C-alpha cells in the first residue's frame, strides 16, 4: 500500500497516531502537501461512507474532524508558503447558517491567504445579514460561501438574495463550494463561480479579481 493510501486508511480508521506518523513520513519524503491533503480528504469521504452505512456514528465524525484539524494546523499549515507578501484581493468567507462544517472552508481560506488574499472568515452557521454587514464593513472583492449539507445548500441562494436586496450584489463576485454543490446549482442560484476544491478556488478567485 502506498504512503498516501496508508494516510487515507488510517484516517478512515480514526487512528490519530498512525495518521500523524504517515503524514510526517510523507512530508519527510517530499510528497507535495496537495497530495497529502487529497489523501486526507479521501479518508474523510470514507468516514462519510461508513457513517452512511451505519458503521460509524456522529461521535466518529467528530473524531475524524479533530484528527484532520490537528494535522492541518500542526503539520501541514506551516508548510504552506505565501506566494507573495503583496495583498492581491480581499475575500469574506463563511459556512451557511444551519451548517457547522468548516474543514473545507478553512482549507479554502488557508490557500487563498497563501496566494495573497486577505481573508475575513465569518466562521460557521453564518446568517445572510452577517454576510451583508461584512460586505459593508470590509468592502471585499469576493464573497465565498460554503455548505456541506444538501439541506443547507439552498441557504446559499438566500444569502445571495439578501446581498441583492441590500443593493450590494454589483460590488462583489460570489463563489460557492462544498461537497453537495455543483456548477449547475451555482448558476441556478446566481453565483458567479463554483470551485470543487481549495486549489480550484484559488485559481478561480484570481480570475474573478482580474
Nearer to ligand B1M, 6 or 177 (CB): 177
Q: Which residues pair with 90 in a beta bridge?
A: 118
Tell me the closest approach of the beta carbon of residue 62 to ligand B1M, in angstroms: 4
Among the listed ranges 45-53, 82-90, 126-134, 183-191, the one in contact with ligand B1M (CB under 6 A) is: 45-53
- The correct pick among 3, 16, 48, 133 for binding ligand B1M (CB under 6 A) is 48
- Which run of H or E residues covers position 15? none
Q: Can you give the C-alpha Rg of the chain in angstroms?
A: 17
- The correct pick among 159, 178, 186, 202 for binding ligand B1M (CB under 6 A) is 178
Tell me the closest approach of the beta carbon of residue 33 to ligand B1M, in angstroms: 12
Cβ-count burial of 21 within 10 angstroms (0-12 exposed, 13-18 middle, 19+ buried)? Answer: middle
Residue 145 CA, distance from chain mean position: 9
Q: Who contacts 13 (Cβ-Cβ below 8 Å, separation ≥6)?
A: none
Considering only residues 88 to 147 of the shown chain, the ones binding ligand B1M according to CB under 6 A are 93, 98-105, 107-108, 144-146
Torsion angle defined by CA atoms of residues 116, 157, 159 and 44, in that order, rounded to the nearest 10 degrees: -50
Q: Which residues pair with 193 in a beta bridge?
A: 175
- The correct pick among 65, 116, 127, 190 for binding ligand B1M (CB under 6 A) is 65
Q: Which residues bind ligand B1M (CB under 6 A)?
A: 41, 44-45, 47-48, 51-52, 58, 61-62, 64-65, 93, 98-105, 107-108, 144-146, 148-151, 175-180, 195, 197-198, 201
Amino acid at each position: 500500500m502506498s504512503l498516501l493510501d496508508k494516510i487515507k486508511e488510517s484516517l478512515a480508521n480514526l487512528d490519530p497516531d498512525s495518521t500523524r506518523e504517515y503524514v510526517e513520513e510523507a512530508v519527510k519524503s517530499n510528497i507535495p502537501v496537495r497530495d497529502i491533503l487529497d489523501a486526507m480528504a479521501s479518508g474523510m469521504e470514507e468516514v462519510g461512507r461508513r457513517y452512511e452505512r451505519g458503521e460509524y456514528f456522529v461521535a466518529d465524525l467528530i473524531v475524524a474532524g479533530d484528527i484532520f484539524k490537528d494535522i492541518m494546523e500542526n503539520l501541514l499549515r506551516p508548510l504552506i508558503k505565501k506566494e507573495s507578501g503583496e495583498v492581491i484581493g480581499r475575500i469574506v468567507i463563511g459556512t451557511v447558517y444551519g451548517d457547522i462544517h468548516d474543514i473545507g472552508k478553512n482549507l479554502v481560506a488557508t490557500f487563498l491567504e497563501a496566494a495573497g488574499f486577505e481573508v475575513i472568515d465569518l466562521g460557521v452557521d453564518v446568517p445572510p445579514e452577517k454576510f451583508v454587514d461584512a460586505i459593508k464593513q470590509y468592502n471585499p472583492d469576493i464573497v465565498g460561501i460554503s455548505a456541506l449539507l444538501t439541506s443547507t445548500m439552498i441557504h446559499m441562494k438566500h444569502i445571495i438574495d439578501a446581498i441583492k436586496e441590500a443593493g450590494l450584489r454589483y460590488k462583489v463576485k460570489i463563489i460557492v463550494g462544498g461537497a453537495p454543490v455543483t456548477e449547475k446549482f451555482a448558476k441556478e442560484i446566481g453565483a458567479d463561480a463554483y470551485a470543487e476544491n481549495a486549489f480550484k478556488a484559488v485559481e478561480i478567485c484570481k480570475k474573478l479579481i482580474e
